[in-house]
Amino acid sequence: MAVLARSSSPSSLSKLLLRPHSFSSLRSFSSSAADDQRVLTIETSVPFTGHRIDPPSRAVDTTPAEILSFFRDMAVMRRMEIAADSLYKAKLIRGFCHLYDGQEAVAVGMEAAITKRDGIITSYRDHCTFLGRGGTLLEAFAELMGRRDGCAKGKGGSMHFYRKEASYYGGHGIVGAQIPLGCGVAFAQKYSKDGSVTFALYGDGAANQGQLFEALNMAALLDLPAILVCENNHYGMGTAEWRAAKSPAYYKRGDYVPGLKVDGMDVLAVKQACIFAKEYALANGPIILEMDTYRYHGHSMSDPGSTYRTRDEISGVRQERDPIERVRKLILSHELASASELKDIEKEVRKEVDDAVAQAKECPMPDPSELFSNVYVKGFGAETFGPDRKEVRSVLP
Amino acid sequence: MLGVVRRKLGFGLLSATRVLPAGSVLPKKYSTAAKEITVREALNTALDEEMSADPKVFLMGEEVGEYQGAYKISKGLLEKYGPDRVLDTPITEAGFTGIGVGAAYYGLRPVVEFMTFNFSMQAIDHIINSAAKSNYMSAGQISVPIVFRGPNGAAAGVGAQHSQCYAAWYAHVPGLKVLSPYSSEDARGLLKAAIRDPDPVVFLENELLYGESFPVSAEVLDSSFCLPIGKAKIEREGKHVTVTAFSKMVGYALQAAEILSKEGISAEVINLRSIRPLDRATINASVRKTNRLVTVEEGFPQHGVGAEICMSVMEESFEYLDAPVERIAGADVPMPYAANLERMAVPQVDDIVRAAKRACYRSVSMAAAA
């Protein structure tokens, strides 16, 4: 059940005009906007701020088709996270579950700017980024519930979603670790001369990690096509940014590395920034993007999210800055679709998500033999053991 | 069943003819333990009392202050002691652990909390090279009275990067002390001992034990209560097989002992409490009594705690063994997320029962059972 059944989004506008996007067969809005490729230029509500770099223009080129796809894609992500919340409370999802609702514009805007040969690596708040990379709802829910058809065969769990074929390097549990790893992918891309870049996503909590600065220093020395993207949702678990960072101007923290501050709740701004960053990184080396964003849920499902921030703040952001609502307003003001057509899309999305959940619930658990698979690529016949080594043992092929 | 030749233990602790195990099973007369407290409360009160008693003691870690602790272990402490003594750190283990060790160099007594010990790997250079080795390298000038504490081992469904047991890693290092409580009494007594100890102590808790309640006597609840470091506790006396365990596995071993007793096998369960120094005297004395040993741990098997215990018993009590030592440990794979695979990756009570029976030559062979 492909959600984002879209051919890879090229970064140049001309390709947008020539190749219409293909959509899943469930799409049925009547207006021609879905296939409308005429260029619309829309201004971001907030300008970009540059550090050691001239920021790109606020005027973003897009098309009605693209805007409608933004609406749909973000709606799918939103519904998926809400469904995950319910599944966690029903104890069908175990362990940790970190939800991304509120931050959808970053995942969607980024995909619009890049190809599946560009790399993305992120933290444990990885479900929506996975969908953006072409992952399916079924793979996501099955992984969350630890089933065989999950994107990591049920062995990774919420924090460890992967999609190597789409250059999605996961889902990482250790705060900050993904940054040097992302620079490493960029190193390999440059080494292999394949003309692509890697986006290493991290939060405001991770922004203080020493390994970020170590990796960034090397990336700058080696002119790696690495784009460090700080998804600043202003709280590292329960700690507000100003309590953790002497300088919460994360786009400036690269010091000698240029940076851009972006309204992360504006999908068009995100797209523009990523196009800009990709072009910059390929020519010059690393750049930092700070996405000013917000998460509605707490840090994880064990965190109510209201002991360190007020409910007024949360509802305030929902009212003023919700990324999906902004796109809805844009669609309505430009008359790209009617309010009821948008409601229909949301209904379809809801059904799609519900169907995927139902299907995932029916998925079997991994076969017990999977306990010992993928420890190595090549095990040379080494013996491996279960807890009682005389009862359960195996050979690593 | 008892070995005929009795050798001197050579630890200077017991004469060779004593049958009673060395160590801590001394018949104390406690008043009836009417009260139960959770491990969480035990740790919280221990921290509170030690901070109250010594102004040099301070707590640092992620979310220990305003959030009241990721697992609520430090609840109320910020309010009571203020931000100078309860520090919320950024998510930067290498940095804040180094800072903690440096404060200990000066003479303060930091308690550094790792939200889980998996994150201690970011800081392990400071734990080992800056803390463990300093007293030695400086010939006693720089001692490091620091405690590194936090949950260790598997929780429930937290995946490969959040489930590792670090007991074997830290217990490998001379200069470190490594403790792992099981009950509330352990938690209180060992944490107080750790904070009062002049050397770096790695204190391995367990997330799944935080909510469990245990009976505690008035003595345990007293603020002067302290347990000795380096001494194991015999949780359950037995005759036929010794089972060693620490942390959560002690509970499993006790359950296994109950099952075994119904089949006529009397298991002696030893709660190690201290991984380093390891209470070899207690373990060996027990094995000399029972002649059979099953070691239990949650962590990966190779080079694990059980391997060291087995070697110690072979070295000290070889002639007393009537069966090969059995080892129960975590599966030799990164922790899988799927519930069925996770269950297969972590020791279960059945595994301990089975191994104990094998040690007693009472198991049915797998071929016969097929």
Chain B: give the shortest CA distance to residue A27, in Å.
34
Suggest the residue from A208, A371, A395 to mutate for an interface test with chain B (most B CBs closer than 10 A). Answer: A371
Q: What is the rounded average pLDDT of the residues A301-327?
A: 97
Q: Would you say residue A30 has pLDDT above 80?
A: no
Residues B203 and B300 in one domain: no
Confirm whether A224 is domain-assigned: yes
Residue A338 is part of a domain; what is its CATH number? 3.40.50.970
Instruction: Tell me which residue has tokens 């030799």.
Output: B332
Which residue does chain A place closest to B356, by CA atoms?
A388
Same domain as B208, residue B91:
yes
Structural domain tally of chain B? 2
Tell me if B24 is assigned to some domain. no
Chain A residue numbers with beta carbons less than 8 Å from the beta carbon of B335 are: none
Instruction: Choose the final residue of a domain: B200, B221, B242.
Output: B221
ipTM: 0.88
Last residue of a domain, one of B186, B221, B256: B221
B40 and B74 co-located in one domain? yes
Task: Please choose, from the candidates B110, B21, B134, the residue with its C-alpha nearest in 3D space to the C-alpha of residue B61.
Answer: B110
The reply to whether B134 and B217 lie within a common domain is yes
pTM, whole model, 2 decimals?
0.89
Residue pairs between chains A and B whose CB atoms are closer than 8 Å: 159
A238 and A270 part of one domain: yes
Query: Same structural domain for residues A236 and A380?
Result: no
Mean pLDDT, range A312-327, rounded to an integer: 98
Determine, yes or no, domain membership for A34: no
User: Confidence band (pLDDT; 50, 70, 90) for A15?
Assistant: very low
- Is there a single domain that holds both residue B97 and residue B170? yes
B370 inside domain: no
Contact B200, B176 (CB under 8 A): yes
Q: A157 vs B337: CB contact, 8 Å cut-off?
A: yes
Quote the domain boundaries for residue A265.
43-304+314-366
Q: Across chain B, how many H-helices and E-strands are there?
A: 14, 14
Do B267 and B356 belong together in one domain?
A: yes
Whether residue B80 is found in the same domain as residue B189: yes
Rounded to whole angstroms, what are the CA distances from A103 to A100, A266, A310? 6, 10, 18
Which one-letter amino acid corresponds to residue B148? F
| Two structure tokens written together for A125 | 């708040």
Which of A208, A370, A371 shows the shortest C-beta gap to B91?
Answer: A208
Contact A390 B328 (CB under 8 A): no
Residue A30 lies inside a defined structural domain of this protein: no
Chain A residues with CB-CB distance to B331 below 8 A = 371, 384-387, 392
Q: Does A12 score more than 80 pLDDT?
A: no
Residue B72 and residue B195 in one domain: yes
Q: Indicate whether A355 belongs to any domain.
A: yes
Nearest alpha-carbon partner for B112 in B81, B77, B74, B148: B148
Low-confidence ranges of chain B (pLDDT < 70): 1-33, 363-370
Chain A residues with CB under 8 Å of B301 CB are: 385, 389
Domain co-membership, B257 together with B134:
no
Give the CA distances from residue B177 to residues A239, A318, B227, B229, B274, in Å, rounded to whole numbers and listed in that order.
32, 50, 14, 8, 8
Boundary (domain end) residue, out of B221, B246, B262: B221
A318 & A381 share domain: no
**Amino acid identity, position A231:** E
Q: What's the domain count of chain A?
A: 2
**B285, B323, B358 from B318: Cα distances, Å:** 12, 10, 18
For chain A, the average pLDDT equals 93
> Is B240 one of the catalytic residues?
no
For residue A151, the number of C-alpha atoms closer than 13 Å in the C-beta half-sphere is: 29
pLDDT at A20 over 50: no
Contact (CB, 8 A) for A36 and A336:
yes
Q: Are residues B273 and B174 in the same domain?
A: no
Q: What is the CA radius of gyration of chain B?
A: 21
pLDDT grade, residue A255 (50/70/90)?
A: very high
Within a domain: B18: no
**Cis preceding linkage at B277, omega within 30:** yes
B105 plus B214 within the same structural domain: yes
For residue B339, list chain A residues with Cβ-Cβ distance below 8 A. 94, 146, 365
Rounded Cα distance, B285 and B54, in Å = 38
- Same domain? B206 vs B343: no
Asked if residues A160 and B149 have their Cβ atoms less than 8 Å apart, the reply is no
Residue A264 lies in a domain: yes
CB within 8 Å of B357: residues ≥ 6 apart: B260, B263, B265, B363
Q: Is the pLDDT of residue A222 over 50?
A: yes
Q: Is residue B16 part of a domain?
A: no
Q: Output the six-digit token pair for B267.
A: 């298991």
Note the pLDDT of residue B363: 60
Cα–Cα distance, B271 to B246 (Å, whole number): 5
Marked catalytic residue, from B162, B172, B212, B219: B162
Angle, CA of B254, B43 and B125, to the nearest 5°: 95
Q: What is the spatial distance between Cα B57 and Cα B14, in angstroms, rounded to a whole number?
A: 37
| pLDDT number for residue B32 | 55
Tell me the H-state helices in chain B: 39-53, 77-81, 93-106, 124-125, 134-137, 167-171, 184-196, 218-221, 248-261, 280-290, 305-317, 339-345, 349-359, 366-369
Q: Are residues A385 and A281 in the same domain?
A: no
Helix H or strand E segment including A359: helix A339-362
* Assigned domain for A14 exists: no
- A59-62/A40-43 β-pairing: antiparallel
The number of residues making up chain B comes to: 370
pLDDT > 50? residue A198: yes
Q: Which residues of A touch B357 (CB under 8 A)?
A: none
Same domain, A256 and A387: no
3-class DSSP state of B151: strand
Q: What is the DSSP string of B42-75?
A: HHHHHHHHHHHH-TTEEEEETTSSTT--TTSTTT
Q: CB of B344 within 8 A of CB of A384? A: no
Chain A residues in contact with B158 by the CB 8 A cut-off are 95-96, 157
Indicate if A357 and A210 belong to the same structural domain.
Answer: yes
Run of H or E residues at A343: helix A339-362
A245 min Cα distance to partner chain B (Å): 7
Whether A127 and A199 share a structural domain: yes
Domain membership flag for residue A354:
yes
Cβ pair A109, A268 in contact under 8 A: yes
Q: How far apart are the first and last CA of chain B?
A: 31
Give the domain range for residue B53.
35-221
Closest among B365, B362, B366, B364 to B260, alpha carbons compared? B362
Strands B35-38 and A259-263, how do they pair? unpaired
Same domain membership, residue A329 and residue A243? yes
Q: Is residue B115 part of a domain?
A: yes
Residue of A183, A129, A117 lying closest to A158 (CA atoms): A129
Check whether residue A178 and residue A272 sit in a common domain: yes
- The CB-side HSE value for B310 (13 A sphere, CA atoms) comes to 17
Residue B9 falls within a domain, yes or no? no
Residues 47-106 of B with CB under 8 A from A: 62-63, 66-67, 70, 88, 90-92, 94-95
**A343-373 per-position pLDDT tens digit:** 999 999 999 999 999 999 999 999 999 999 9
Closest partner CB to B336 (pick from A155, A175, A209): A155
List Cα–Cα distances, A82 to A77, A327, A348, A363, in angstroms. 9, 19, 15, 20
Per the structure block, which two tokens stand in for A278?
A: 């990709």
**Domain CATH for B106:** 3.40.50.970
State the Cα–Cα distance between residues A324 and A265, nearest whole angstrom: 9
Rounded to the nearest angstrom, the gap between the alpha carbon of residue B331 and the centroid of all alpha carbons in its chain is 19
State whether A155 and B91 contact (CB < 8 Å).
no
Catalytic (active site) residue B126:
no
Contact indicator for B234, B180 with CB cutoff of 8 Å: no
A115 with A174, same domain: the answer is yes
Rounded-to-integer distance, Cα B99 and Cα B93, Å: 10
In this complex, the residue of A176, A371, A388 whose CB is nearest that of residue B341 is A371
Under DSSP, the state recorded for A289 is E
B318 Cβ contact list (under 8 Å, min separation 6): none
- Give yes or no: residues A228 and A377 share one domain: no
Which amino acid, one-letter code, is at A43? E
Residue found by looking up tokens 């979603």 in the block: A161
Are residues A289 and A389 located together in one domain of the fold? no
Q: Can you tell me whether residue A16 is helix, strand or coil?
A: helix
Secondary structure percentages of chain B, helix, strand, coil, to 5 = 40, 15, 45
Question: Does residue B136 belong to the interface with chain A, where contact is any CB pair within 8 Å?
Answer: no
Q: What is the CATH number of the domain that holds B333?
A: 3.40.50.920
Give the residue among A62, A76, A67 at the shortest CA–CA distance from A24: A76
Band of pLDDT at residue A22, cut at 50, 70 and 90: very low
Q: For residue A165, how many C-alpha atoms fall within 13 Å in the half-sphere facing its CB?
A: 5
| Three-state secondary structure call for residue A104 | helix
pLDDT tens digit sequence for B152-184 = 999 999 999 999 999 999 999 999 999 999 999
Query: Is residue B78 situated within a structural domain?
Result: yes
Catalytic residue chosen out of the listed positions B50, B93, B235, B326: B93
Task: Output helix, strand, coil percentages for chain A, rounded to the nearest 5.
Answer: 40, 15, 45
Ramachandran region, residue A51 (left: φ > 0; alpha: ψ -120 to 50; beta: rest): beta
Helix/strand/coil (H, E, C) string of B185-224? HHHHHHHHHHHHCCCCEEEEECHHHCCCEEEECHHHHCCC
Task: Tell me whether residue B86 is in a domain.
Answer: yes
pLDDT at B17: 42
